[in-house]
């Protein structure tokens, strides 16, 4: 196809998208469908969108090192430039404001603030986050700052093996306190860790994520122990979270009057059959997945299921640590995307591992029927009733805490063209169905106060690189121009203020 016809078709498609956007039916959903003050926003993370990975003083993180392995990321992609939000943040904030969004959940790169993890401050990095926060407020967007999204400073990994050492607890609390002191006059919503389960499990059980550690039987790792290290890393993540919360409450809460929580991923696990063993398997999966982190924070100990199965491999909290950990959240963020069927699987591997300890198997279908329509990612199916059950589970099992649905979304293939990418009707259907399920849970008493769509823009999707597009805004990776998709206009219509 020649250049001129392509440009014409692109222009027509873009105009058609805007025209259609004005007619998009949001159904019965609207801002008024949700409680007064309910917050709608979008989310991203530092390494996935910022770029400037080795510039303006930022130190490397474990992901900068991890992706150096040839073939570890699709097409050997990296986040060196990504979508360059470091320079284009105003454009992205303007898009959010135009879409009637209330808030932006971003993450702060620890190694952009402390290039070596501790010690010397990189003031250019501090200045960037000040610019971002100030412009968000100027445009009427509330900043929600997440302190850690997979990106431990590489210096700490080299100094003391990172999350496997208790030294990380103080270092993280010091970093968090610097952020509270520096940004807390404007940031009133803090999150310590995003998906610590993913950090511990994928980083130390199967080596799929940085730092890429596991037993040799479970992955292509050069070192690690899948039976012990995931539990040690998780234990130190929980203690780091609690130490940061303690610092905030003791030194900054009275003056800054903010709140602080943690973000936990939660796949809903449904029993494959009505049999007792499959029901037990699904419950084990829930305990090993979200219970691993929320149970200590609410009840001061790991789920009994984990204690019984993992035994001496599971670290124990001291009485002093229990006091610090228990109650260490003002809210919990739930990242919820999908659901799976689970069945009992009692094989005993020669080498123990976190995933093996579940004694449960995954199914994406039942009697030949998929659990829901599939997105681009192999793990992602559209199952809105899974969100409903997940929120109710948190409500009933953990005392109906304040919940923010902190991530929710679906992806298209990375090679979808600009005209095709704008016409994302499947994503609209996904959001509509999940928000409907969320509203049902709220109407039935769940204390959910906010919702963040993942993601604002197409970006670097970890091991998938740029072969996956989660954004409600299309990014043309050739020139990094932004194009709101139909789903973005769907949100704009749904969120319009009377």
Catalytic residues: 195, 407
Q: Is 102 left (phi over 0), alpha (psi -120 to 50) or beta?
A: alpha
- Torsion, Cα 23 27 33 37, to 10 degrees, reads -40
Helix 123-138 and helix 167-183, axial crossing angle in degrees, nearest 10: 50
Smallest CA-to-CA distance from 317 within 305, 332, 306, 302 is with: 302
Q: Is 111 left (phi over 0), alpha (psi -120 to 50) or beta?
A: alpha
Where do the H-state alpha helices sit in 300-424?
304-310, 319-325, 384-397, 418-422
Where do the H-state alpha helices sit in 67-192?
85-98, 110-113, 123-138, 154-160, 167-183
Tokens found for residue 30: 């609207």
Where do the H-state alpha helices sit in 139-252?
154-160, 167-183, 196-204, 229-251
DSSP secondary structure of 430-470: HHHHHHHHHHHHHHTT--EEEEEEE-SB----GGGTTSEE-
Number of neighbours of residue 84 by Cβ within 10 angstroms: 17
Strands 39-43 and 103-107 come out as parallel
CA distance 55 to 267: 36
């Amino acid at each position: 196809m020649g250049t001129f016809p392509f440009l014409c078709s692109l222009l027509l498609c873009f105009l058609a998208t805007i025209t259609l956007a004005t007619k998009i039916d949001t159904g019965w959903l609207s801002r008024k469908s949700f409680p007064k003050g309910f917050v709608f926003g979008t989310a991203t993370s530092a390494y996935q969108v910022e770029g400037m990975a080795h510039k303006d003083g930022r130190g490397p993180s474990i992901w900068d090192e991890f992706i150096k392995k040839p073939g570890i990321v699709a097409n050997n992609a990296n986040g060196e430039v990504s979508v360059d939000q470091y320079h284009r943040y105003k454009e992205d904030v303007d898009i959010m404001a135009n879409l009637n969004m209330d808030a932006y959940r971003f993450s702060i790169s620890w190694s952009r603030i402390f290039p070596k993890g501790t010690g010397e401050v990189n003031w250019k990095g501090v200045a960037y986050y000040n610019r971002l926060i100030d412009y968000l407020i100027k445009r009427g967007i509330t900043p929600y700052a997440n302190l850690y999204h997979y990106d431990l400073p590489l210096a700490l990994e080299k100094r003391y093996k990172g999350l496997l050492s208790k030294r990380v607890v103080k270092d993280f609390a010091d970093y968090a306190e610097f952020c509270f002191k520096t940004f807390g006059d404007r940031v009133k919503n803090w999150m310590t860790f995003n998906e610590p389960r993913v950090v511990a499990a994928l980083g130390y059980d199967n080596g799929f994520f940085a730092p890429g550690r596991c037993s040799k039987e479970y992955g292509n790792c050069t070192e690690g122990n899948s039976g012990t290290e995931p539990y040690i890393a998780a234990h130190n993540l929980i203690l780091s979270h609690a130490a940061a919360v303690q610092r905030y409450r003791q030194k900054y809460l009275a003056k800054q009057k903010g709140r602080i929580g943690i973000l936990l991923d939660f796949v809903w696990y449904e029993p494959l059959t009505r049999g007792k063993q499959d029901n037990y398997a699904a419950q084990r999966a829930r305990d090993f997945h979200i219970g691993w982190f929320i149970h200590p924070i609410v009840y001061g100990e790991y789920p009994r299921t984990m204690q019984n199965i993992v035994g001496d491999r599971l670290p124990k909290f001291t009485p002093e640590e229990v006091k610090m950990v228990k109650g260490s959240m003002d809210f919990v963020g739930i990242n919820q995307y999908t659901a799976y069927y689970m069945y009992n699987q009692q094989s005993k591997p020669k080498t123990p591992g976190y995933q093996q300890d579940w004694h449960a198997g995954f199914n994406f279908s039942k009697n030949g029927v998929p659990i829901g329509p599939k997105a681009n990612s192999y793990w992602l199916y559209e199952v809105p009733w899974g969100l409903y059950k997940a929120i109710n589970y948190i409500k009933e099992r953990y005392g109906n805490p304040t919940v923010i649905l902190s991530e929710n979304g679906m992806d298209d293939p990375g090679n979808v063209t600009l005209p095709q990418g704008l016409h994302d009707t499947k994503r609209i259907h996904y959001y509509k169905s999940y928000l409907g399920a969320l509203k049902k849970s709220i109407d039935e008493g769940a204390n959910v106060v906010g919702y963040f769509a993942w993601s604002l823009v197409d970006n670097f999707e970890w091991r998938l690189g740029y072969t996956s597009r989660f954004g409600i805004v299309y990014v043309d990776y050739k020139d990094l121009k932004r194009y709101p998709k139909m789903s973005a206009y769907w949100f704009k219509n749904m969120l319009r203020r009377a």
